[in-house]
Structure formats: structure tokens, C-alpha cells
């Protein structure tokens, strides 16, 4: 259903809106709005992207978990791409993804979606730790006995 929405329904919505707006305000004004939102979107996404990257760098430096900011970075990127795509529907969604207040709503929705996917088993999460553990600790923590964790050593 997701691909159907992206590749068929969204373009139909965009064509409909472009025709309606173009019929109301004229083709040149419609083209001007499309170009203007593209320029504004590129500027806004660059600014928001720099803010997210700066905050992400700070959090990593402090040793804090940057999950929220990683999701925000992806949303800023996708929102910027949507704003560069001609059309009013994609511009609206793009602005919602880029603006900090509404972007946080997308983040909480995404976190809830992925958390429920992990809990239900639809998504599997694999992690790597840099801490060394002895085999007994690993066996006590390992819930999947079919997985063998190996620490490698380069031989020269």
C-alpha cells in the first residue's frame, strides 16, 4: 500500500492541486509559487539540517544517546527533498517535516512505530558493544543461543 500511495496517489493529488491552483491564480503565479517554495525549502532545510547536525555532534560528544536527533536528521533530509519536488501536497508535508514543532510529532510517531515493531518481532535489532565481556556473562545475557559473538584479532 505504501508504494501505491507514493507512486500513484501522491502524483494524482499533485496534478489535481496544480490544476486547481493554476486555474484559480494562473499558470505563471503557480509556477512562481512552486519555485519560491523550492528556494525557501532548500534554505530552511539547510538551516535546520545544520542545527540538527550541531546538536547531534554535541550529544555524541557528551556520550548521550542521539536517537531522536538521528530521526530528526532523516526527517529534515526527506522534508528538503519533498520541498524540492514540484507540487503543493509534497510541499506541505515537507514543511511539516522540517519545522521543529511539527517535526517532533513525526519523531514521536516514528519512535512508537519502530518500538511496537521491535516488541512484536516485525523488526529485529542487532547491536554491537565495545565493552569486553567474558563468555559466562555473554551466555547469561544472550537470549538467542543460535548467535555466536566473536571478538576478532588481526594476525600479521
Q: In the structure, what pLDDT confidence band is assigned to residue 18 with cuts at 50, 70 and 90? A: very high
Closest by Cα among 91, 57, 49, 93 to 73: 49
Q: What is the DSSP letter of 32?
A: H
Could you report the per-residue pLDDT of 59-110, keeping only the tens digit for each? 999 999 888 899 999 999 999 999 999 999 999 999 999 999 999 999 999 8
Residue 134 has pLDDT above 50, yes or no: no
What is the grid cell recorded at 94?
Answer: 515537507
**The three grid cell numbers given for residue 125, joined into one nine-digit string:** 535489532
pLDDT band with cut points at 50, 70 and 90 for residue 4: confident
Q: What global pTM score does this model have?
A: 0.73
pLDDT of residue 141: 57
Cα gap 98→88, rounded to integer Å:
15
Amino acid at each position: 500500500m505504501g508504494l501505491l500511495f507514493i507512486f500513484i496517489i501522491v502524483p494524482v493529488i499533485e496534478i489535481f492541486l496544480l490544476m486547481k491552483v493554476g486555474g484559480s491564480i494562473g499558470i505563471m503565479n503557480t509556477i512562481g509559487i512552486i519555485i519560491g517554495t523550492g528556494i525557501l525549502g532548500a534554505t530552511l532545510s539547510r538551516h535546520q539540517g545544520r542545527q540538527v547536525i550541531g546538536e547531534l555532534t554535541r550529544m555524541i560528544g557528551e556520550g548521550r544517546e542521539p536517537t531522536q536527533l538521528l530521526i530528526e536528521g532523516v526527517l529534515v533530509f526527506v522534508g528538503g527533498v519533498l520541498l524540492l519536488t514540484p507540487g503543493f501536497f509534497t510541499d506541505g508535508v515537507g514543511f511539516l517535516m522540517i519545522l521543529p514543532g511539527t517535526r517532533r510529532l513525526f519523531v514521536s510517531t516514528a519512535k512508537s512505530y519502530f518500538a511496537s515493531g521491535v516488541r512484536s518481532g516485525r523488526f529485529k535489532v542487532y547491536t554491537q558493544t565495545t565493552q569486553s565481556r567474558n563468555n559466562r556473562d555473554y551466555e547469561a545475557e544472550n537470549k538467542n543461543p543460535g548467535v555466536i559473538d566473536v571478538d576478532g584479532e588481526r594476525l600479521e
